[in-house]
Amino acid sequence: MGISVALGALSLGIAGTAGAEEPTELAPRGSYVRVDLDPSRVITSDDEPVFGGGPPHILFLNRCTGGETITPGGGGSVANQSSILSFSVNFPPFPYGDAAWSQVMDHARSIFSPFNISVVDVDPGNTPHDEAIVCGDAAQAGFNGAGGVAPFTCGIINNPITFTFAETLGNNPRLLAEVVAQEAAHAWGLDHEYLCQDPMTYLSGCGNKTFQDVDAQCGEFSARSCDCGGGTQNSYQHILNAFGSAVPDTQAPTAAITYPHDGDVFEPGSDFEITVDVNDDVQVTLVTLYSNDAPAGADETSPFGPWPVTNIPEGVYSFYIEAEDPAGNLTQSPTVTINVSATGEPPPPDSGGDSDPGGSTGGDGGIDSDGVDTNDGVTSGPGGDDAGALPDGYSTGLGPEPTANGCDCTTGDSPRGAMGFGLMLLALLGLRRGRRRS
């Protein structure tokens, strides 16, 4: 089939089989839309290739947490504008949950692992990047029946947005990752291949697909001439020439707490924010705040933090953060210790080094109105595990309350960002939790 229709000011050419008989009852397939872009947004074959050794090319897989609106326009990923949409689309969140998303990311990183490409799921913001929308359905975006779609020229498009329609394709993490790979590569000038083992194919039944170092014929269900000329293309060499080979990322992020300062003294009931400074040569993907060695909150979105503290009770508190990059490199910041004292002075040395704002040596223990045992400043959570109790006079006003397993960090479809400092309650009571160190 060969289709050419008007889409606003664009010429839309969805690739076809040029007369080949198309199998029936097939799953939705990826495709591409030819676009006429400003030359400044396209790297052509006449330009010098980008070889490995420098910063990796960033491919951001967007799960549309909380919904994601993409509007028509030429601004690309940094402006949330797509050159192939004819109207604004508010894509719903990725519908299959955190476990499936983690598999999508693992598969995508594996597919692109030979190349100097960093596959991330944290928005790089204004940093140049490719963006793969992995949510919504094809009909919603005006591409009824497609599994994915991408802008296409015979060059590499800077800051493109491509689409993999998760609701259309179904809960199949490997398939979703392979369609992401095909659509991303369309934006780099690659055509469909008549080669089952390559992500650029329409063919199925040959196992997992990876970019093949093969001069393959172009085509969908039969061989045809390649859209940009010639009879074959080599997807592996094309991407290798564009971005270079994989360069191991061994450089860990930098991490520091910028406020409060080590040795600061606060009065009980004080309010303040814990602010941080983190950087990485590629990207920081996660910052976790610890208080007295227990996780107190996490932030997956730049800028990271701040974490608000309100009405803090008397005690000694030690804070540090851990910053992680896409390669798993982890850095722990220097520890910042503060004192909360009514006298405005640190406690005497014989008072011990651990804070005990919950009064775990006694106090008003007993059973509260909800039947919760409040002795020793802990409460029995679901399943009988101990969770941190809320000390008298301490409140963050952010919620939600900590869970029994000591973590209420949200992922999935919940809004991302700095988690409520209610999670610090576990740390304030001195509960411990294992973690990785750099």
Question: Do 123 and 191 belong together in one domain?
Answer: yes
**In which region does residue 244 sit, left (phi positive, over 0), alpha (psi from -120 to 50) or beta (all else)?**
left
Where a domain ends, among 203, 218, 243? 243
Answer yes or no: do 132 and 161 share one domain.
yes
Same domain, 222 and 323: no
Same domain, residue pair 357 and 380: yes
User: Is 386 a member of any domain?
Assistant: yes
- Asked, for residue 437, whether it belongs to a domain, the answer is no
Whether 438 is covered by a domain: the verdict is no
218 and 92, same domain (yes or no) = yes
- How far apart, in Å, are the Cα atoms of 198 and each of 154, 192, 205, 206? 19, 9, 12, 10
Structure tokens at 276: 């941080």
Residue 333 dihedral angles phi and psi, to the nearest 5°: -75, 165
The answer to whether residues 36 and 158 belong to one domain is: yes
Please tell me whether residues 216 and 306 are part of one structural domain. Answer: no
Query: How many domains is the chain partitioned into structurally?
Result: 2
208 is a domain residue: yes
* 435: in domain: no
Assess if residue 433 is contained within a domain: no
Same domain for 226 and 281?
A: no
| Residue 120 included in any domain | yes
Using CA atoms, how far apart are residues 221 and 193, in angstroms rounded to an integer?
A: 9
* Cβ proximity of 222 and 20 under 8 Å: yes
Question: What is the 8-class DSSP label of residue 121?
Answer: S
Q: What is the CATH number of the domain that holds 395?
A: 2.60.40.10
Do 121 and 35 fall within a single domain?
Answer: yes
Reading the chain (438 residues) residue by residue, the pLDDT tens digits are: 222 222 222 223 333 333 334 443 445 555 556 555 555 555 554 444 444 457 899 999 999 999 999 999 989 999 999 999 999 999 999 999 999 999 999 999 999 999 999 999 989 989 999 999 999 999 999 999 899 999 999 899 999 999 999 999 999 999 999 999 999 999 999 999 999 999 999 999 999 999 999 999 999 999 999 999 999 999 999 999 999 999 888 889 999 999 999 999 999 999 999 999 999 887 888 999 999 999 999 998 778 999 999 999 999 999 999 999 888 899 999 999 999 998 877 666 655 444 444 333 333 333 333 433 333 333 333 333 332 222 333 333 333 333 333 333 333 333 333 333 443 433 343 333 333 334
Kindly state whether residues 217 and 293 are assigned to the same domain.
Answer: no
CATH number, domain with residue 152: 3.40.390
Beta pairing class for 315-324 and 336-340: antiparallel
List the domain range (segments joined by +) for residue 146: 3-243
Q: Is residue 239 domain-shared with residue 267, that is, in the same domain? A: no
| Domain stop point among 243, 262, 277 | 243
Domain-ending residue, one of 223, 243, 263: 243
Q: Give the residue from 219, 188, 184, 159 showing the smallest Cα distance to 15.
A: 219
Domain shared by 279 and 192, yes or no: no
